[in-house]
Amino acid sequence: MKRLGHPFSEPELLHRALTHSSLSTATRPDNQRLEFLGDRVLGMVIAEALLKDDPEATEGKLAPRLNALVRKETCAEVAQEIDLGAALMLGRSEMMSGGRRKMALLGDAMEAVIAAVYLDSDFETARKTVLRLWGKRIEQAEESAADPKSNLQEWAQARGMPPPKYAEIERSGPDHAPTFIIEAQLKNGAKSRATATSKRAAQQAAASALLKQLEAKNG
């Protein structure tokens, strides 16, 4: 894992971080315990970085930024950037079902690797590793934290309408790599569709598209 940028003095920690439960045995533990620890280390590093990046931000503004940076999708994106999937150790069935590309597996492994770096060295080394891998995401946290679904709901409520509804129009592709088409709908008939590889992402994209449509219509 040269892209990780940390030479392990105890390589077995990295091996454990990359071992999925589908391949674990009594003598080969999986990465779940490391994932638990890595999630906490990541949260601490990101929280500290956000405080330094914006000394004037309130807790109400910092919380959604933190959530955006530590959520599973973001961890999976970072894992993809360093090609962590290629190094995952999976059972045959998980490997055949596309496990190396699954968001949940990649996100869990990324957190486990952060814990492995921490245990192999110290918190400062883990902090430097996280800051290097997350890079400009921290500077762009405010934009990442924008929640189109919440904004669309606020728009509707301000006009006396019930919350928007999200309908799954279509799901296609294999189980390990599905594609969703979601339609965001308002009581006044306004609606917009979007496509993404997860329901959550498709809902957010549909809400964002509908907001833009409403803004253009209403000036």
Please determine, for residue 2, whether its predicted confidence score (pLDDT) is greater than 90: no
94 is a catalytic site residue: no
Among the listed residues 30, 35, 108, 111, the single catalytic one is: 111
pLDDT band at 41 (very low <50, low <70, confident <90, very high): very high
Distance between CA atoms of residues 195 and 54, nearest Å? 33
What is this structure's pTM?
0.73
What's the mean pLDDT in 11-38? 95
What topology is assigned to 2-144 in CATH?
Answer: Ribonuclease iii, N-terminal Endonuclease Domain; Chain A (1.10.1520)
pLDDT band at 97 (very low <50, low <70, confident <90, very high): confident
Thinking of the domain 148-218, which architecture would CATH place it in? 2-Layer Sandwich (3.30)
Q: What is the pLDDT of residues 169-217, one digit of tens each?
A: 999 987 767 889 999 999 999 999 999 888 888 898 899 899 989 988 7
111 is a catalytic site residue: yes
Name the residue ranges covered by the structural domains of the chain.
Answer: 2-144, 148-218
Instruction: Report the pLDDT value the prediction gives residue 219, as an integer from 0 to 100.
Output: 56
Asked if the domains at 2-144 and 148-218 fall in one CATH topology, the answer is no
Among the listed residues 39, 108, 120, 183, the single catalytic one is: 39
Q: Which of 84, 75, 8 is nearest to 42 (CA)?
A: 75
Distance between CA atoms of residues 177 and 77, nearest Å? 15
